[in-house]
Structure 1
Amino acid sequence: MATDMTLIWFSGSPPCWRVMIALEEKNLQGYNQKLLDFLKGEHKSQEVLDINPRGQLPAFKHGNNILNESYAACLYLEEQFKSQGTRLIPMAAPEQALTYQRMFEGTNVLKNTNVIYYEWKFPEGERHDSSLKRHREALTAELKLWEGYLEKLGAGSYLAGKNFTLADVVVFPCIAYVFRFGLSEKNYPRLAGYYGLLKERPSVKTSWPKNWLETPQAEDKLKDI
């Protein structure tokens, strides 16, 4: 039981979700957790600011150790609980190298999803058809890279090969995010297969965002990507 751990999180946030998947994979159930509402601005509360002065989530504590960057939290959990649960960093150099490469490369997926909240992120005077087109093309190019990576690895593969690794922990929530917003499985069959494979993994099913269970499909803003 991970009673000396605390996670403050948003439902549906890929950074929060990846920490929850890592906790499940390392058999660290029973941690203290608090679900906040982004729309109510609860992440700017004093409770959060005391842990994370940036007022961002996740906010994670293990004893007196604070890790508010989701990648840092996942790496920390793997290192501190290496012999517990799923080994998330492979021993073999080739698979380890690919795990790290795909992990950090995965930040580009979420970074290129501006098209989903284009109207919200950009003031009306800064919105232009050419700008929206550029964001759509950037996301398309990014997703095609990942489609190609999975095609090269073959059907049924994870992001770094035949084993589930920390690369999957941190990148899968981003892949799930784009499918939630209507990404075409027909246009990205390898990504769709990967998404279907990981949806059934116990750590993913257990930590599936609560609001996604209530509304399985969001707006289909990515159907033509």
Structure 2
Amino acid sequence: MVLKLYAVSSAIGGSGIVAMVLLEKKIPFELVAVDLTKREHKTPEYLALHPFGRVPMIDDDGFILYESRAICRYLAEKYPDQGTRLIPIDARAKARFEQGASIELAEFFPQIAKVGRQLVFNPRQGVPTDEAVLAEGQVALAKKLAEYEVILGKQKYMGGDEFTLTDIFHLYAAPMVIKAGFDVITGTGPNVKRWWNDLVSRPSWTKLQEGIRSVAMY
């Protein structure tokens, strides 16, 4: 049974990073497009599989898994030698990777999510932008990226010298924020710019800009 990816059709949020892992790992999959505008993620049938009623979710031959970072880790560990190795094997390299993943979740994501809430989700829901919260998030994000500049001056990627899931996780929200008008990378140092340009120019990510359905195998 081919893996089924329940996701939105666009390469945004968790749907985008899971689809990127599927491409990097060369895993065939079927897209089951979930239309959020029609609240297909809140139907009784969907909620029976995903109690929080969100995307993405996978069905891997009856094994149901949700939460995008958990899905990404599962795929990387199930197919370690297929496609791009996204989780290192060596103990020190893996520790560096885990360090980077923790930094993304604890330091980067809360700030990019705060900015994204004001620039992306509030407008969609007809909620006015809180300019004070937006400014606070932008300042905090700039501070985090200044710290990234130091880290990336010592290693090529956020998880070490090899491209890993840690880097993919950073594509969860930042592209949406940039598209909404706040260029996260403007004003950063050369190391951050080099790293970011590397991420968004990867063939897997550029292919996904045409939509997840365009790269699904079935």
TM over 0.5: yes
Runs (4+) off by over 4 Å: 119-124
Structure 1: distance between partners of 2:92 and 2:162: 13
Q: Structure 1 CA distance, aligned partners of 2:46 and 2:16?
A: 17
Shift of residue 200 of structure 1? 1.7
Kindly provide the CA deviation profile for residues 154-190 of structure 1, in whole angstroms up to 9, marking residues without a partner as x: 3992212321001012222323222222234432244
Equivalent AA in structure 2 for residue 104 of structure 1: S
Q: Tell me if 1:115 matches 2:115.
A: no
Aligned counterparts of 1:188 and 1:26: Cα–Cα separation in 2: 31
Residue 74 of structure 1: how far off its partner (Å): 0.8
> CA separation in 1, counterparts of 2:96 and 2:126?
35
Unaligned runs of 5+ in 1: 212-225
1:63-91 Cα distance to aligned partner (Å, 9 max, x none): 12111111111111111111211111123
Gap regions ≥5 residues in structure 2: 213-218
Go from structure 1 to structure 2 and tell me whether the alpha carbon gap of 1:162 and 1:146 turns closer, same or farther (over 3 Å shift): same
CA contact (8 A) 2:11 2:208 kept: no
Counterpart of 2:141 in structure 1 is 142
RCO higher in structure (CA 8 A, sep ≥6): 2
In structure 1, the partner of 2:77 is: 79
Q: Distance in 2 between matches of 1:79 and 1:86?
A: 11
Q: 1:169 to 1:186 in 2, by over 3 A?
A: closer
| Aligned counterparts of 1:193 and 1:34: Cα–Cα separation in 2 | 35
TM-score, length of structure 1 as denominator length: 0.76
User: 1:196 corresponds to which letter in structure 2?
Assistant: N
How is 1:154-165 mapped onto 2 (pairs within 5 angstroms)?
A: 154=153, 157-165=156-164
The amino acid across from 1:204 in the alignment is W
Once the two structures are overlaid, the 10-residue window that deviates more, 199-208 or 93-102, is 93-102
CA contact (8 A) 1:150 1:157 kept: no
Task: Specify the alignment match of 1:16 in structure 2.
Answer: 15
Give the whole-Å Cα distance in 2 for the aligned partners of 1:191 and 1:14: 21
Q: 1-side partners of 2:92 and 2:149: how far apart?
A: 16
Please name the residue that 1:33 is paired with. 31
Deviates more, 1:107-116 or 1:11-20: 107-116
Task: Give the secondary structure class of the aligned counterpart of 2:170.
Answer: helix
Cα displacement (A) at 1:201: 0.8
TM-score (norm 2): 0.78
How big is the shift at 1:51? 2.2
Aligned 1:89-108 pairs, distance under 5 A: 89-107=87-105, 108=108
Identity of aligned residues (%): 26
Deviating more after overlay: 87-96 vs 55-64: 87-96
How many residue pairs align between the two structures? 203
Tell me whether 179-188 or 152-161 shows the greater mean CA deviation: 152-161
2:43 alignment partner in structure 1: 45
CA apart distance, 1:102: 2.5
Partner of 1:199: 200
